[in-house]
Amino acid sequence: MNTATGLIAVPALLLLVSCASSGSSANAWTNTSLGEAQRQQVLDRCLEQARAAETTYYDEHSRGDANSASPFINNLKVRQRSVAARSQSYEACLLAAGFSRQP
């Protein structure tokens, strides 16, 4: 029984680490042509779009729910890729809005 628990715990831990480390920090982006209020509005809009991209990717690629016969590992991979889609969408939105990365 411990082996089965370990088989589930390790991928779950890896997913947690992946989610925690792949997010983009709003402070890492700058746009000198926008005021603080405008900057925050753009950041909020881009974050909302990025979350929608993540949800859409997961919904389109996941295989069933926790009670189905689909392999758990496949949904973990889909979750990781959906997080990557969120990060890419967020970055693309900010770049399109004229933001640049702070060094």
Q: Where are the domains of the chain?
A: 2-24+32-101
Residue range 12-26: average pLDDT?
50
User: Does position 87 have pLDDT exceeding 90, yes or no?
Assistant: yes
On the 0-12 / 13-18 / 19+ scale of CB atoms within 10 A, 99 is: buried
User: Does position 24 have pLDDT exceeding 50, yes or no?
Assistant: no
* Pairwise pLDDT comparison (62 vs 45), residue with the higher score: 45
pTM for this one? 0.65
Residue range 32-49: average pLDDT?
92
User: Does position 27 have pLDDT exceeding 70, yes or no?
Assistant: no
Residue range 47-66: average pLDDT?
86
Q: Could you report how far apart the first and last alpha carbons of the chain are, in Å?
A: 49
Residue type, 69: A
- Residues with Cβ within 8 Å of residue 8, at least 6 apart in sequence: 72
